[in-house]
Structure 1
Amino acid sequence: MRIGFLRVLTLALIAGTLAGVVHSRPALAQEPLLPIEDWGRTASSGIDTFLILQTNLQPPYQHLRDGILGGYSISVLDCAFERIGVGYGLALAPRQRNREMVRTGRADGFFLARLSPVLDEYAVPSYPLALEKWVWISKRGSVPDRGGAQSLKPHASAPVGTILGSNEAEWLTEENYQDILHAPSMASLIAQVAKGHVDYVLVDKQSFEIARNELGFGSELFEMRFERYVPLVVYFSKAYLLRYPDFLDDLNNELEFCETLPMTLEPWERAAIERNQLPLIQKMAGASKLIANTRAELTEPAHTAETRKLLDLEWTAKVRGGELSTLASEILENPLSQYLREFQKASGGHVAEVFVFNLRGEVIGMNRVTSDYDQSDEPKHQMTGNINRGHALIDDIRFDASTRAFLSHITVPVIDPDTGNVMAALTVGLDVSSALRPES
């Protein structure tokens, strides 16, 4: 039960009493006073699971306004913790200090972090909260143009810049970059590029654009080249999870219900999918074996709307509990599903899931169990009524908990070659982290 909801800077003054793990320290000149947010809730079991999470300022994921810590990741965590009934507090510190506090047992977790074998030694990651889009930034005209958004990255011997202690800084070191400028903030990093002091910097696209606009720089001053997508997670200390072994599973189960907005596909990303992935998916939809297996499943008797609803409720409830309904088990074993599994395995990791649904929106084949059975309330089903041979629906990017990947769902019609009519629809969940890498 919620017994408090305070987001004020003055709580930092009582942090030691409130949580016992947040230590007072002198505030740095460029650093805000450490805020703590206290919900004071307990789990339904009655055991006090209150925990302290460390974070840093990184708009739009975490930002501080009028002493209140907010942002995309904060709203997602608020939602998930509320759903599981666990109280948590937040403290701000530089990223490197956050990791060290978790490693030494002075905090229960920190975010946002990329997946890292080093962090895995003393902490366990949650499902992703966000997906960063890392880009190389250079001053326009200062380096040769190498072909637009999907150009290759700078050579490891090139001087590059990034933010001190950032996820990007760790990755650059792992990639054996030798000449790295570590700036204390995004604003400082952008200034270094604008002055021509460093040729390339590696940053998150959203964070860069926010800081650039705040500094009053126009986009025309910079070149931008895509590097990769990076899922960001919360790392929880292994010591905390030993005390509360069910906590992380409970939190992960709720995160999929707390995402607020998809990541919009940029024009070049959509064009890349249409150029590189869509022709293969459309070829798959017209394959004689897929059509034959689809026809076989369409001979099954139709369910009433009420039966379909009950089957969907059972399906989704079982999936959330890590089980399969009888219907899901039967569909997974049919020839159509077996054929879809072959297609997914042959995709080289680009396809995370693939399924076929009939004109009523019922899944009739799938490589793995989908999160729900009835697709009739989805835009991809609503398009089947007036779809034509050349049409496709390409969705924006969302995190899919069932595959633990960030997907763009692409739906195309399955056409009956004898009549020319739509007989079903094929949906492919494209793993953008794999499929849209420059080297892909």
Structure 2
Amino acid sequence: MIVLSAPAVAQDNEYAAPLTELANGQLREIAQNPVLVAAIVAQNAQTAGYDAARIDSLDKQWRAEVNAADKPLISATLGTEASAFLASAQADSAGLFTEIFATDALGLNVAQSTVTSDYWQGDEDKFSQTFSVGADAVFLGEVELDESTQTYQSQVSITITDPATGQPIGSITAGIDLSLL
């Protein structure tokens, strides 16, 4: 895994340069959408007092809902304007983005283009190596073969900032089909 801050030089990943360019261009543009920023700010106000037990409970609920018929938490999250925006951004990418999801300041999902396997990203590098690092952080995940599609993919994550203050408010991660770079 590669963590880059704004002036950092890419390491031994042939995709690092184009992925970093994508992160600082197209993904950063998506991350600054007013609908998405407003959703993150609103959720940060709601979740500011959540403790580890509450976060764990929500994550367990989400994981249980993934394969269940009744999905109240997942449906509520996917049913937002911010999730619709991310789904549209994914659809408009002509397959480049395989998924897009954004989190709040705790690493809890705020919006996503498709259902994620879990609700809390706060224990994963895609969150801890962006939000905790600061406004210009870029995190590149491992290059992995997607067995179902036989394509190589990587996740790219950046910090989302409040345009008014420049302060980190969350993170955004996009799955990238590397054959389309």
**TM-score w.r.t. structure 2 length?**
0.80
- SS in structure 1 of the partner of residue 56 of structure 2: helix
> What one-letter code is carried by the residue in structure 1 that aligns with 2:96?
H
Change (3 A) 1:291 1:406: same
Change (3 A) 1:355 1:276: closer
> What one-letter code is carried by the residue in structure 1 that aligns with 2:63?
T
> Which residue, out of 4, 18, 21, partners 1:272?
18
Return the offset for 1:294.
Answer: 2.5
- SS in structure 2 of the partner of residue 386 of structure 1: coil
Distance 1:429 1:323 in 2: 26
Change (3 A) 1:370 1:359: same
> Which residue, out of 132, 153, 173, partners 1:385?
132
Change (3 A) 1:336 1:314: same
Q: Point out where structure 2 has 5 or more consecutive residues left out of the alignment.
A: 1-10
Report what 2:72 is aligned to: 326
Q: How does 1:320-399 map to 2 (within 5 A)?
A: 321=67, 323=69, 325-383=71-129, 384-389=131-136, 391-399=137-145
> What one-letter code is carried by the residue in structure 2 that aligns with 1:268?
E
Higher relative contact order (CA 8 A, sep 6+): 2
Distance 2:172 2:162 in 1: 13
Return the offset for 1:402.
Answer: 9.7
Is residue 307 from structure 1 mapped to residue 62 from structure 2 by the alignment? no
**How many residue pairs end up in the alignment?**
169
> What one-letter code is carried by the residue in structure 1 that aligns with 2:57?
L
Change (3 A) 1:306 1:293: closer
% identical aligned pairs: 26
Change (3 A) 1:315 1:280: same
> Which residue, out of 422, 428, 431, partners 2:174?
428
Distance 2:168 2:149 in 1: 28
Change (3 A) 1:277 1:417: closer
Distance 1:399 1:386 in 2: 28
Cα distance per residue 1:83-137 (max 9 Å; x no partner): xxxxxxxxxxxxxxxxxxxxxxxxxxxxxxxxxxxxxxxxxxxxxxxxxxxxxxx
> What one-letter code is carried by the residue in structure 2 that aligns with 1:308?
I
- Report if aligned partners of 2:35, 2:81 keep a CA contact under 8 Å in 1: no
User: Over aligned residue pairs, what C-alpha RMSD do you find?
Assistant: 2.6
- Report if aligned partners of 2:143, 2:154 keep a CA contact under 8 Å in 1: yes
Return the offset for 1:315.
Answer: 1.6
- Report if aligned partners of 1:352, 1:405 keep a CA contact under 8 Å in 2: no
Distance 2:119 2:36 in 1: 20
Is residue 283 from structure 1 mapped to residue 29 from structure 2 by the alignment? yes
> Which residue, out of 276, 298, 313, partners 2:44?
298
Cα distance per residue 1:39-66 (max 9 Å; x no partner): xxxxxxxxxxxxxxxxxxxxxxxxxxxx
Distance 2:113 2:27 in 1: 15
Cα distance per residue 1:284-325 (max 9 Å; x no partner): 212333323332333324433112212212222332x36563
Q: Point out where structure 1 has 5 or more consecutive residues left out of the alignment.
A: 1-264
